Amino acid sequence: MIISLSGAHGSGKSTIAQKLSEKFAWPRYYMGGLKREAAAKKGLTLAEYNKLGESDPITDQEVDLYQKKLGEENDNFIIEGRTSWYFIPHSLKIYLDVDEDEGARRVFNHLQQDNQRNEGGDTNSVEAVKLSLKKRLESDNLRYKKYYDIEVYATEHYDFYLNTTNLSQEQVFKEVYDYVCSRLDKC
């Protein structure tokens, strides 16, 4: 089984992907990390790289072709990415959502602990992060509609939807894990 996770910024995707990877002892692939590395290699922030992607599809295609190949050649892994559900259609597709304000607060707190994320833009306050996330969302929607004619944040593409706004990490993990277990022969 391949489990693909996507969702709103700050919804807990990375935390849950990591916990699932540990629980099942499966590899985890993080597409956001690959994009950040590609941006850094070009001397760009993630925001600048996404902006470049609005006119140059290669910034998304590199990651998308990589995950498509993963899905064709491997099994039993966790993948976290906006388009993973699309490029690995046979995956178990999970979408985590969060209220915009709570998501911005979570991302801001995470950025205070990890300044190596290469986000770009102003991230000095929750409101600044919220604005930055809105710009990323707009860029994501523009690029994925333009290049693939898909809406990555439309929840109908997913097998399981969970709003994490008022849930602890433990509660989110339990809900997701229980769902995954219901789709596996055993857990």
Q: For residue 39, what pLDDT is reported? A: 87
Q: pLDDT at residue 134 above 80?
A: yes
The pTM of this model reads 0.88
Q: pLDDT at residue 57 above 80?
A: yes
Q: For residue 78, what pLDDT is reported? A: 98
How far is residue 127's CA from residue 101's CA, in Å, rounded to a whole number? 8
Q: pLDDT at residue 94 above 60?
A: yes
**Any idea what the CATH number is for the domain that residue 55 is in?**
3.40.50.300
Q: 115: domain range?
A: 2-183
Residue 35: helix, strand or coil by DSSP? helix
Report how many domains make up the chain: 1
Largest CA distance in the chain: 46
Taking residues 26-34, report their average pLDDT.
Answer: 93
How many CB atoms lie under 10 A from the CB of residue 181? 12
How far is residue 12's CA from residue 176's CA, in Å, rounded to a whole number? 11
pLDDT digits (tens, 9 = 90+) for 61-79: 889 999 999 999 999 999 9
pLDDT digits (tens, 9 = 90+) for 6-29: 999 999 999 999 999 999 999 999
For the sheet with 2-7, list strands across it: 28-30, 77-80, 2-7, 92-97, 160-163
Dihedral pair phi/psi, residue 167, rounded to 5°: -115, 150
